[in-house]
Amino acid sequence: MRYLLSGLFVSLLLPAYATHADGPPRDPYIQVNGHGELHVAPDMAYVNLTLQQTDIDAKTARADVEGRAAKVIALARKLGLADKDIVAPAVTVYPQYGWVSEGGGISSSASGKRAYKLIGYNVSRSISLTLHDLSRYGELADGLFSAGVTDLGGVSLDRSDRAALQQQARGLAVQDAHDKAAVLAKSAGVSVGPVFSISEQGGYGGPRPMMAASLSKSAAADPEYLNGDIDIGADVQVFYRINK
């Protein structure tokens, strides 16, 4: 785990200003922004996928989607995912219409001798998986493709202890603000007084989309998944009174 501290904006305000109750103090004050950031390796992943099929026969399309969904759920359980980590709501079905020419071809326009007819039923089912063991992501990806999943674009990485790490980032941000205030006060020949107010300016570093797999030199070898780090940060604004 590496710590990175940096500042966004610092100002030293010495004159007394008349302000509203929620603003800065009336006495001379120092205003600083503090920033704290953690770089940590991910330990979990969210996998979101959608299975869909279109067919003139709604039952055929649904059977295809439900069959692949059953394989995905069975795979997830085989890899140790608990049912609470598998979200698979019911299928959705909606008819698709299009302009059909006299010869039976489908067109995007209504020009010529065409009729607006039913061309099929689209059936889809979304599945969300929470993988707590990233070492098994390769098995999961291979199994999903074998189950008929063709798109794994909805994969994001995260930390299981995100809340605790976010608290650490907030603490680093406050310390960063205090260090800046001390430097400014010393440079101005004054001393830092008590905190008048402190507020969080918003953090960042939500689940990050997974980096693309990097294939090894051997075509038969398993791909190497390069996850990288997750950035978890926090920003605060602090008003310090200046000691008289």
Task: Give pLDDT, residue 104.
Answer: 58
Select 44-158's CATH number: 3.30.70.2970, 3.20.20.100, 3.40.1350.10, 3.90.76.10. 3.30.70.2970
How far is the CA of 101 from the CAs of 17, 160, 174, 202, in angstroms? 76, 55, 68, 56
Distance of alpha carbon 195 from the chain centroid: 34
CB 46 within 8 A of CB 162: no
Amino acid, res. 43? D
Amino acid, res. 168? Q
Spell out the domain ranges in the chain. 2-42+161-209+222-242, 44-158
User: pLDDT tens string for the chain (244 positions)?
Assistant: 444 434 333 444 444 333 444 567 888 999 999 999 999 999 999 999 999 999 999 999 999 999 999 999 999 999 999 999 999 999 999 999 988 886 656 555 555 677 889 999 999 999 999 999 999 999 999 999 999 998 887 899 999 999 999 999 999 999 999 999 999 999 999 999 999 999 999 766 677 776 444 323 333 455 666 678 899 999 999 999 999 7
CB 173 within 8 A of CB 236: yes
Quote the CA–CA distance of 53 and 47 in Å, as a whole number. 20
How many CB atoms neighbour CB 95 within 10 A?
10
SS3 content of the chain, % helix, strand, coil (to 5): 25, 40, 35
Task: Give pLDDT, residue 83.
Answer: 96
How far is the CA of 107 from the CAs of 23, 95, 231, in angstroms? 63, 17, 48
Task: Give pLDDT, residue 209.
Answer: 75
Task: Give pLDDT, residue 217.
Answer: 36
Distance of alpha carbon 112 from the chain centroid: 48
Select 2-42+161-209+222-242's CATH number: 3.30.110.170, 3.40.50.720, 3.30.420.40, 3.40.50.150. 3.30.110.170
